[in-house]
Amino acid sequence: MRRLSAVQIGAFLALMLFSISWSPWGWNWTDLQRWCFLISTSISLMTLLSEGGDAFSVPARLRWQVCVLVSGALTSVLLSDVPFWSLLEFGVWMSLWLNAFAVRTSLSQGAMRSRWLLVCLVLAVAVFVVVRFGVFLLALSENPLVAMDALYGGFSNVRSLGHFQTLTIPVLAGGFFLFGGAKRFFCLALLIAWCWVAVYTHTRGTFLAALVVICACLFTRGRIGKRLAALIATAFCLAWIANALMLAVPDSALALAAEASNLRHPAGAASLAGREVLWGQAWTLFERNPWFGTGPMGFANLHSPLGAHPHNIVLQLLAEWGGVPTFCLAVLAGVFGHRLWRLVRQCSLEIHEVVAIMSLLGLLAQSLVDGVFVLPFSQFCLALSAGWVWFVLARHDTSAQTGESAVLRKLICFGVTACVVYVFLFSLADFSFSYPDRAFQSVQWPRYWAVGFI
């Protein structure tokens, strides 16, 4: 089991990083990342099934909440105008949980795996920064007007790069404290460069996430959280100063590339870039059916000219799933949030544990303005950070005992397996037959595929 779990976490990271590095068939990055996420989900399922029914146990005190949540979600699916797509979205959420649980299980099989995960993410960012900076500098020398594409190329959406940064900025800061000697200063330089990318590409969602992370670090017990907050704040300040100096040079290649990029909204940094319209549309859908919503993925059936999802996870849940499932999910989130609060306030955590928690908090904060729960690569980041935090909670808090319920375990095992099989078969059929015509006719607003409208 220990060797199989190592294969799972290795395959997860390999597929995650492969999906932003190479598209061998010339697919859109969104579609490639969706298939990589499906393959990762299949590997995670097989890993957990090999462990037996214990992998699908539910804490006794949460059984009723979970049952009500699943019942409400399935009711929303059945009442949907597009039930097959709604069931697909339900399967995607199950896949998110499955991958997160598999990551948690894999990390729990070895005492050093959490630290090694941090090291692997630092190396991944280092490789990405070196390669992308080289390509970016080459593009600047040849044609600055299209150079920005080289900087975020490989991501399904220009904001997916920001989600990756939100995941890894606390990781790089943690590497500074975990390593010693030259490695520490390498992490510092990498952190400043990574923050500069966020500043230069105008990724405001990452700024919001960083602000939340900095504030949350101040509430952790001990000095490590405060040091982490100070380092991230300092790195962003230095990156901002460096960016201002670089753009101060008139008609420089960097300035031309920034002005030509579509990342900077014409209305300015304070603009919501049309999100207020999407939020209003989502609220209108919620008002039409406040109990069970329009159905999971129902917003993509609206064909809004601004996007295929509301760019706010709370409004997305209310509009598509309805008030009943959203309330049940909020209760479960509150239970885990309370455990997490007690953990950071009462325990002196190690650096890799603080990093895990801050990465997840940053992604959750960014999900209030971006499609963190929607885009496939962002789902990779979310599943990884959620599983990492789940491992930290399980390591320190042994109060959530599962108890015995063989029937419930078998039902969960069967239901999760059926969802994964449905998602895979539906994706294969749609991608092979219906999607090519839809992709030819529609605007590329990403959701499940690169063309998110259904």
Question: pLDDT at position 267, please?
Answer: 46
Max CA distance (Å), the chain: 70
Q: What is the mean pLDDT of residues 198-210?
A: 91
Q: What is the mean pLDDT of residues 367-393?
A: 95
Question: pLDDT at position 437, please?
Answer: 87
pLDDT of 405 over the 70 cut: no
Question: pLDDT at position 264, please?
Answer: 55
Q: CA dihedral in degrees (421, 423, 428, 432; nearest 10)?
A: 150
Confidence of residue 372 (pLDDT cuts 50, 70, 90): very high
Could you tell me which residues come within 8 angstroms of residue 55 by beta carbon, excluding any fewer than 6 positions away? Answer: 48, 49, 101, 105, 413
d(CA 167, CA 380): 10
pLDDT of 16 over the 60 cut: yes
Q: What is the CA radius of gyration of the chain?
A: 22
In a domain, 170, yes or no: yes
Residue 91 token pair: 């399967």
pLDDT of 259 over the 80 cut: no
Higher model confidence: residue 62 or residue 305?
305
Residues of the chain with pLDDT > 70, as a percent, come to 93
**What is the span of the domain harbouring residue 220?**
2-262+292-441
In a domain, 70, yes or no: yes
d(CA 62, CA 71): 14
CB hemisphere CA count around 93 (13 angstroms):
17
Question: pLDDT at position 271, please?
Answer: 67
CA-nearest of 355, 371, 236, 357 to 300 is: 371
Residue 448 token pair: 């499940």
Q: What is the mean pLDDT of residues 177-188?
A: 91
In a domain, 235, yes or no: yes
Residues of the chain with pLDDT > 90, as a percent, come to 63
Residue 287 token pair: 């008002």
Q: What is the mean pLDDT of residues 388-416?
A: 78
Q: How far is CA 399 from CA 48, 103, 349, 395, 436, in A?
A: 23, 21, 18, 11, 50
Question: pLDDT at position 209, please?
Answer: 96
Confidence of residue 66 (pLDDT cuts 50, 70, 90): confident
Could you give the number of structural domains in the chain?
Answer: 1
In a domain, 285, yes or no: no
- CA–chain centroid gap for 238, Å, is 26
pLDDT of 49 over the 50 cut: yes
- CA–chain centroid gap for 403, Å, is 31
d(CA 218, CA 222): 9
Q: How far is CA 151 from CA 19, 255, 257, 336, in A?
A: 16, 14, 11, 37
Do residues 176 and 231 lie in contact, with contact meaning Cβ atoms separated by under 8 Å?
Answer: yes
Signed CA dihedral, 90, 92, 93, 95: sign only = positive
Q: Model confidence over 326-363: pLDDT tens digits?
A: 999 999 999 999 999 999 998 889 999 999 999 999 99
Average pLDDT of the chain to the nearest whole number: 89
CA-nearest of 327, 378, 449 to 96 is: 378
In a domain, 46, yes or no: yes
In a domain, 448, yes or no: no
pLDDT of 3 over the 80 cut: no
Can you tell me whether residue 67 is helix, strand or coil?
helix
Tally of CB atoms within 10 A around 357: 24
Do residues 46 and 413 lie in contact, with contact meaning Cβ atoms separated by under 8 Å?
Answer: no
Q: CA dihedral in degrees (254, 255, 257, 262; nearest 10)?
A: 140
pLDDT of 322 over the 70 cut: yes
Confidence of residue 170 (pLDDT cuts 50, 70, 90): very high
Residue 399 token pair: 């109060």
d(CA 212, CA 252): 34
In a domain, 267, yes or no: no
In a domain, 244, yes or no: yes
26 sits in the region (left: phi over 0; alpha: psi -120 to 50; else beta) called left
Residue 131 token pair: 């390669």
* 180-213 residues labelled b (16+ CB within 10 A) or e (exposed): eeeeeebbbebbbbbbbbbbbbbbbbbbbbbebb
How far the first Cα of the chain sits from its last, in Å, is: 41
Q: What is the DSSP letter of 308?
A: S
Q: Model confidence over 331-341: pLDDT tens digits?
A: 999 999 999 99
